[in-house]
Amino acid sequence: MKLKLVVIGNGMAGMRTVESLIESAPDLYDITVFGAEPYGNYNRILLTPVLYGEKRVDDIMIHDFAWYHKHGITLYCGPDKTVVDVDREKQIVIARDGTQAYYDKLLIATGSVPLILPIPGRDADGVMSFREIADVEAMIEKSETRQHAVVLGGGLLGIEAANGLQQRGMNVTVVNRAGHLLNRQLDDQAGAMLKKQLESKGLSFKLGCTINNIIAVEGHISQVELSDGSVLQADLLIMATGILPNMMLARRIGLDCEQGIVVDDSLRTSDPAIYSVGECVQHRGELFGLVAPVYEQAKVCAQHLAHKKAPVYQSLQPATRLKVTGIDLFSAGDFAGEAGAEQIVFIDPALNIYKKLIIKNSLIAGVLLYGDTADSAWYLDLLKNKIDISPLRDGLIFGQTPLSVAA
């Protein structure tokens, strides 16, 4: 008799766990999955190419419906199949339409929800987030009849949304509270280079300010008033101001939650029958928004669910590899440089290349690469393994040259 595993959340984290579990213990569980969207598991990172027309929805599917059928997985998906309650005593999951499923083990992978700022007028038609396929479809529809788009948030998601809408023919302005773009991944210099390159592609920017008010005409957004007193025409406003762990269900059913669903080193929650992975979790005080650590969680969680001798989950060295509208970026560690640290910088304005290394006590403490990320893996290895760079010091900024390899 197989054990029963129920998964709440049909996204990248939950399905990566299921995929790893099937590889490790293919006959251990009957698996049932509940998802709030009417699709199989798709790659959210590739929503931008769908927005600007390079890919179709079918192209970004990681697991289509046939995959679930092939592996004997029961999939309930769509808004009516959203899980609204869990009876932890009877170990039963309950969906909005009354569908129920018994579990021996439960995996909560509810991901995150977009942060919608409490700006007056935010309920107007044309104000939306950029999070799922339905959002992209709505943005494409608006772009066909509307002209002016404003994106609030100069992070990766905001810039990608702006680029996609601009390629759809809209006039796009990005509004960002910070003084430069990608302020969590880049410093002032690299942020300024990115802004200049994106402006050359036709995007506009308002930095160091935010939106104070949304003006609607007959229920549809028309303008936005900025904190610097200026007004922008806006037929569409994309809120790309961050994400919050989706722990509403976990909190409702009494699991320990702080900033996210609290999990231990095996990705188990405060209920020993319930595990959790992905952007909804909090591990040792840390939250997660990148794919690499989430996939590592999935691998570790799957081993524990498979009753294998499993490793404990350890947070990876934070490193960000991005390709923003065709521009390569990489940052890791303390790329800003704390007091007492030394900086090695290389700039080639003609080629739009900028490299910065932060050195402390003969070790790399941080890396920032803009426009040329060929040596990112090498620098990250030096950083993670705390390798003395003294013998490489003179040529370090130029990357993994034959000389540095020999040394």
Write down the pLDDT at residue 63: 97
What is residue 312's DSSP assignment? P
Write down the pLDDT at residue 401: 63
Instruction: Write out the CATH class of domain 127-239.
Output: alpha beta
Write down the pLDDT at residue 317: 63
Write down the pLDDT at residue 318: 67
Domain 3-113+243-305: give its CATH superfamily.
FAD/NAD(P)-binding domain (3.50.50.60)
Q: Are strands 41-42 and 61-63 parallel, antiparallel or unpaired?
A: antiparallel
Q: Can you give the three-state secondary structure of 208-276, one letter per residue?
A: CCCEEEEEEECCEEEEEEECCCCEEECCEEEECCCEEECCHHHHHCCCCECCCEEECCCCECCCCCEEE
Pick from 279, 227, 213, 290: nearest CA to 250: 279
**Using CB atoms within 10 A of its CB, is residue 152 exposed (0-12), middle (13-18) or buried (19+)?**
buried
**Using CB atoms within 10 A of its CB, is residue 402 exposed (0-12), middle (13-18) or buried (19+)?**
exposed
The per-residue b/e assignment along 130-149, b for 16 or more CB within 10 angstroms, e otherwise, is: bbbbebbebbbebbeebebb
Give domain 320-406's CATH number out of 3.40.50.720, 3.30.390.30, 3.60.20.30, 3.30.300.210: 3.30.390.30
Ranges for all domains in the chain classified under CATH 3.50.50.60? 3-113+243-305, 127-239
Write down the pLDDT at residue 404: 44
pTM of model > 0.85: yes
Ranges for all domains in the chain classified under CATH 3.30.390.30? 320-406
Per-residue pLDDT of the chain (407 residues; tens, 9 = 90+): 899 999 999 999 999 999 999 999 999 999 999 999 999 999 998 998 999 899 999 999 999 999 999 999 999 999 999 999 999 999 999 999 999 999 999 999 999 999 999 999 999 999 999 999 999 999 999 999 999 999 999 998 999 999 999 999 999 999 999 999 998 889 999 999 999 999 999 999 999 999 999 999 999 999 999 999 999 999 999 999 999 999 999 999 999 999 999 999 999 999 999 999 999 999 999 999 888 899 999 999 999 999 987 788 887 666 777 777 778 999 988 887 777 789 999 999 889 999 999 999 999 999 999 999 999 999 999 998 999 999 998 899 999 864 444 44
| Residues 6 or more apart in contact with residue 224 via CB below 8 angstroms | 150, 175, 211, 213, 214, 215, 231, 232, 234, 237
